[in-house]
Amino acid sequence: MAKQVNCDCGFMVRTQTDDEIVRHVQLHAKEIHQMEVPRDKALEMAKPVEATVTV
């Protein structure tokens, strides 16, 4: 199942794997908010969502 994280700043990421969601959340937090987000916190922020396909 896909997971999604929504940031208060408007950033949203949806991925299929834990590794991907963690990588994107950590990169966003560091580049935009100058914050370090541990893996467990990034996974805690992720909510399961239905996977969508855009064509």
| Domain residue limits at 26 | 2-49
Query: Is residue 40 in a domain?
Result: yes
Indicate whether 45 belongs to any domain: yes
Q: pLDDT tens for residues 4-37?
A: 999 999 999 999 999 999 999 999 999 999 999 9
pLDDT of residue 55: 66
What is the DSSP annotation of the chain? -EEEEE-TTS-EEEESSHHHHHHHHHHHHHHHH-----HHHHHHH-EEE------
The count of structural domains within the chain is 1
- Does 54 map to a domain? no
34 falls within a domain? yes
Residue 22 resides in a domain: yes
In a domain, 55, yes or no: no
